[in-house]
Amino acid sequence: MELGRLEYLQALVTEFQVTDSTGKKRRCSLALSVSSISSHPRPFSFSLAEAKEQVLANLANFAYDPSNYEYLRQLQVLDLFLDMLTEDNETLVEFAMGGLCNLCLDKTNKEYILEANGVEPIINCLSSSNEETVVSAVTTLMFLTTPRSRAQTTALPVVECMLRFSLSANTRLSNLASIFLQDYCSPPQVEEARNLSRHTAVGIPLPKD
């Protein structure tokens, strides 16, 4: 059973990686993987991007279950998630961010992400216009906060951003931002950010509707 699962995950990741290579190759392998798993006779159309999204979504969902972590690490899915954070495709970013949010509480995963300088791209996700991406990023930053990393995860621009999020009409976002400020930031930090935002407009913008 373990091997079966590993192979399945491997197949997913292979599918993904292959879709990243040159055009001709890409289409070929994609057609193959589709026909092998399709149970519907009628034809349908989907794009390369959709296939990538589906695979990433699956991996991100697997990342919710701790029993998969060892496999995911072996398959370097953590790196995959981190790489996807800088993609243009908003959906890929959303799913990758969700995947990271799901697995970053595990100590080994957390250390890996921190070592790989993952905090920076995650902070950048705070400016995404995608609600899920932002929400996942806020939570991930909280989960990644350690004595060593908190200087980075609770840097001034981040705190300032959270201040603004905490005032959002979006309850999910404001709740998470409030928790961030209350539980992960010191009062002086929050005060400093408040003072800063009073005087300047610099900072991370709120997600657009």
Partner 1 sequence: KMAAGTSGGPGAPCRHHAQLGACESRAKYREGWRPRAVKCVYTINLESRYILIQGVPALGVMKELVEQFALYGAIEEYHALDEYPAEQFTEVYLIKFKKLQCARVAKKKMDERSFFGSLLHVCYAPEFETVQETREKLQDRRKYIAKATNQRDCFMLKKVEGPKKTASNNSEHDCPCSTSGSSIASNWDPSCFTNSPGVSHNTAYAAGNQNQSLLTPPHYDNNCAEISGYFGQNTSLTPSVHPGVCTPPASLMQHRKVPACNGIDRFMPRTTHLQERKRKREEGNKFSLIRTSEDNTEVVIGPQLPEIPKVDMDDESLNTSATLIRNKLKEVADSVSTSVEKPESSSAKPVLKQRRRI
Q: Which of residues 185-204 bind partner 1 (CB under 8 A)?
A: 185-187, 189-191
Tokens of 72: 């995911």
CB of 90 to partner 1, least distance (A): 13
d(CA 128, CA 200): 21
CB of 78 to partner 1, least distance (A): 15
CB of 84 to partner 1, least distance (A): 12
d(CA 141, CA 126): 10
| Interacting residue with partner 1 among 22, 169, 198, 201 (CB under 8 A) | 169
User: Which of these, 80, 85, 94, lies nearest to 129 by C-alpha position?
Assistant: 94
CB of 120 to partner 1, least distance (A): 20
Within 10 angstroms of residue 108's Cβ, the number of other Cβ atoms is: 12
DSSP 180: I
Only one of the segments 21-29, 76-84, 127-135, 195-203 lies at the binding site for partner 1 (rule: CB under 8 A); that segment is 127-135
CB of 177 to partner 1, least distance (A): 8
1-20 positions binding partner 1, by CB under 8 A: 1-2, 8
105-124 positions binding partner 1, by CB under 8 A: 105-108
DSSP string, 191-206: HHHHHHHHH---SPPP
| 170 in contact with partner 1 (CB under 8 A) | yes
| Interacting residue with partner 1 among 22, 23, 24, 37 (CB under 8 A) | 37
3 state SS for 79-146: HHHHHHCCCCCHHHHHHHHHHHHHHCCCHHHHHHHHHCCCHHHHHHHHHCCCHHHHHHHHHHHHHHCC
Only one of the segments 16-24, 75-83, 98-106, 118-126 lies at the binding site for partner 1 (rule: CB under 8 A); that segment is 98-106
User: One symbol per residue from 48 to 87: x for binding partner 1 (CB under 8 A), - otherwise; what is it?
Assistant: -----xx-xxx-xxx-xxxx-xx-----------------
